[in-house]
Chain A
Amino acid sequence: KQEVTQIPAALSVPEGENLVLNCSFTDSAIYNLQWFRQDPGKGLTSLLLIQSSQREQTSGRLNASLDKSSGRSTLYIAASQPGDSATYLCAPRGAGNMLTFGGGTRLMVKP
């Protein structure tokens, strides 16, 4: 059974900092991995999809990397802004076509 761990669980940084969110998963037999953002009381918004054959995927100030063999992914946020404050979730997609979620990283960017 896939298990996903996200570190740190919470993070508070001043505006402008570059930061890294970590995701590790136990079963490396995945098809892809998605990073999502969830604002309080809202649904999940897809940020990036990285295929198992890819090493990196970029969208604006976001960059996700994937090391499938070691079961790790990172989400890099450049020049953080208060609007980036949210919970970030990673979800590898593996056996049975299922997305398995980590507990998320709750990010607060202070002005």
Chain B
Amino acid sequence: DAGVIQSPRHEVTEMGQEVTLRCKPISGHNSLFWYRQTMMRGLELLIYFNNNVPIDDSGMPEDRFSAKMPNASFSTLKIQPSEPRDSAVYFCASSGDYSWGTEAFFGQGTRLTVV
């Protein structure tokens, strides 16, 4: 398997524009996580899906953020409208069910810059 695949790797956009980040989890994994990493706050969990259903979105900072998982092989994180404070590295991770004791694997991240 190619691992967790994220696109794009880098995104530069202007304030107010819509940004869509994409993630393809590892085949067979049923849990998917979106994290955000900044120097100030470290790694923060934004939202977690299990079997394509959002389970916990308490980390989503505000209504400008939304995430979907239409099927087991694809998820998106959308920011509309984007603001400079959204600049960060966004990571997607996937794993098997926690009860299986499986590892979580991370994608290479999307570095978002909002100017």
Contact = CB atoms under 8 A, between A and B. Distances in A.
Interface of A: 31-32, 34, 36, 42-46, 49, 51, 89, 91, 93, 96-104
B29 to A, nearest CB: 12
Contacts of B104: 34, 46, 91, 93, 99
A97 B103 contact: no
A38 B50 CA distance: 25
A80 to B, nearest CB: 24
12 contacts: A34-B104, A42-B109, A43-B91, A43-B109, A45-B106, A46-B105, A96-B56, A97-B48, A98-B45, A101-B35, A101-B42, A101-B43
Majority secondary structure of chain B interface residues (helix, strand, loop or mixed): strand
A32 B99 CA distance: 10
A31 B48 contact: no
A64 to B, nearest CB: 13
B56 A42 contact: no
Question: Considering the complex of A and B, which 6 residue pairs feature the smallest CB-CB distances, nearest first?
Answer: A101-B43, A44-B106, A43-B108, A97-B98, A49-B103, A43-B106
User: Chain B: interface residue count, which band?
Assistant: 20 to 34
Most A CB within 10 A of own CB, among B33, B93, B101: B101
A31 B103 contact: no
A97 B55 contact: yes
Interface in B67-115: 91, 93, 97-99, 101-109
Contact of B91 (A44, A45, A46, A104): A44
A46 B103 contact: yes
Given A46-B104, A97-B31, A31 B109 contact: no
A32 B98 contact: yes
Interface in B21-47: 31, 33, 35, 42-43, 45
A51 B56 contact: no
A31 B106 contact: no
Nearest to A93: B98
A43 B90 CA distance: 10
Contact of B45 (A49, A100, A102): A100
